[in-house]
Amino acid sequence: MYGRVQGVFFRAFVQQEARAKGLRGFVINRPDRSLYIEAEGEEGKLSEFIERVKSGPPAARVRDMDIQWCEPAGYEDFQIRY
């Protein structure tokens, strides 16, 4: 995820949205100032999550997203990684 996505509470926003939808996975800031998310759960909930994350919190500006669907990794919760 690219744009103004660091320093705007985006990771906390992502975690809150994921947990509200019962998703599991993680979110982490990348050194290039982008954001990386892995999320797994029900397909419909994932689609809703993607739409919410496209907007982000009020101070964020999402410029681009690269979405890839893959097999679940078996996460137990949704975490913010550092």
- Helix 43-55 with 10-20: angle, nearest 10 deg: 150
Q: Catalytic: which of 24, 29, 30, 81? A: 29
Please say if 63 is a catalytic residue: no
With CA atoms as reference, report the closest residue to 32 among 56, 66, 58: 66
Cross-strand bridge partners of residue 64: 2
29 a catalytic residue: yes
Q: Which of 4, 11, 33, 63 is catalytic?
A: 11
- Residues with catalytic annotation? 11, 29
